[in-house]
Chain A
C-alpha cells in the first residue's frame, strides 16, 4: 500500500487531498510539512545573513538537510498510517491470533515511530530558528520567529500523535522522547518570538 508522492503535487492539490475524508494525508503529514516549511525559512534567513554571520552557511546546510528529511516524512507517515489503519480494520479476521496481534503491534508501532521522528526534527528546526533569530540580519528576524513557531507547532502535533498511538502508554520511552522534543521546540520558539518583540 503506497500513497502518492505529495512532493510532486501543487500546494492547492495537496490541500485538497488534506480535506478529503478518511484517507491520507492527515495530521502527521501536515506536521511534517510544517517542520519542512520551518526549516526552509531558516535556510532562507541564514543564506540572507552570510555577509554578517560566519556560521550562516553551515546553519543553512543543516536546515536544508532537516527540510529534506521532514518533507520525505510527509509521505512516510501517510504510508505508515494507511498500513496501520488497514491492519486495525482487518484485525481478528483470520489466522493465528498471536501472530495477528504481533503483526498489528508492529504496524501500529511503525505508525508511532514516524511522528516521533517528525517531533525530533521539529525540535531541531526550532533550535536552528532560535540560532538564526539571534545572529541573522535584522531584516529577517521576523522570518526566523515564524520558522520557530511553525517548527514548534509541527513538533507539538507530532508528539500528540505519538501519545495517542495505541501501542504507546504512559512511561513509554517513545513518549518521553516525543514530549522532550515538543518541550525543547516550544522553548526555542518562545525565546525567538520574545527576542523579536
Chain B
C-alpha cells in the first residue's frame, strides 16, 4: 500500500492542487473503478462510450479541481460529473440510434449499490492489512477458518473472533462516514 493511498480524499485534493503528480495518479486510481462502474453498470454504456466518458470525467476533474469548494466531497462531485456526462453520451447516442436506457428506479438502485460498494471499499482500506486480508479471505474468497489459519499462520481457534472484531471496526468506520464525509485513515 503506497503512502498516498492512506490519505483522505480532502488531503489528496490538497496535494493535487499543489501539483503533485503522484497524487493525481492516486486520485485516478482511487476513482477509476467507481467512474467505470457508474458508466457500465449504472448507465449501461458500451465499452467504447464508457471509455470516452471516463476520459472526459478525469479531464474535467483535472481542469476544474480548483472549483471544488468542499475538498472532502470529492466523490459526490465526481459522481455528479460522471452522471451528467453519461446522460450526455446517451443523448448523443440516442440521436444516432436507439439505445437501451435504464429505467429511473433501476438506475437509482444500481447507482446506490455502486456507491455503497465503494463506501465499503474505502472503509475497508482504513483497516489493518491483517483485517483486510481476513475479511477478503472469508467473505470474498469463501475460505474456511482452517485455510485462513494455515495461510496467515494464526491459531485456528481465534479466526472467528478476529473476523468479528474486524467487522466491528469496519462498522465503526462506516458509521463515521454516514455522520459526515471523509472518515479517519490509518
Contacts and interface: CB of A to CB of B under 8 A. Distances in A.
Interface of A: 54-55, 57-59, 61-62, 65, 69, 120-121, 123-124, 127-128, 131, 177, 180-181, 184
Interface string B139-164: 10010111100000000110011011
A58 B166 contact: yes
Contact of A55 (B142, B144, B165): B165
A108 B101 CA distance: 46
A57 B168 contact: yes
B167 interface: yes
A121 B146 contact: no
B34 interface: no
Interface of B: 138-139, 142, 144-147, 156-157, 160-161, 163-168, 171
Contact of A58 (B145, B157, B167): B167
B161 A55 contact: yes
Closest 7 CB pairs of A and B: A58-B164, A58-B167, A55-B164, A120-B144, A59-B164, A124-B145, A58-B168
Contacts of B142: 69
Contacts of B161: 55, 131
A124 B138 CA distance: 11
A131 B144 contact: no
A6 to B, nearest CB: 20
26 contacts: A54-B168, A55-B161, A55-B165, A57-B164, A57-B167, A57-B168, A57-B171, A58-B164, A58-B165, A58-B166, A59-B160, A59-B164, A61-B164, A62-B163, A62-B164, A120-B144, A120-B146, A120-B147, A123-B144, A123-B146, A124-B144, A127-B157, A131-B161, A181-B144, A184-B146, A184-B156
B160 A181 contact: no
A55 B157 CA distance: 15
Contacts of B139: 65
Contacts of B146: 120, 123, 177, 180-181, 184
Given A65-B139, A120-B144, A128-B160, 12 more contacts: A57-B168, A58-B168, A59-B164, A62-B138, A62-B163, A65-B138, A123-B146, A124-B145, A177-B146, A181-B144, A181-B146, A184-B156
Contacts of B144: 120-121, 123-124, 181
A120 B165 CA distance: 22
A127 B142 CA distance: 16
A13 to B, nearest CB: 28
A69 B143 CA distance: 11
Contacts of A62: 138, 160, 163-164, 167
Contacts of A128: 160
Contacts of B138: 62, 65
Nearest to B170: A58
A59 to B, nearest CB: 5
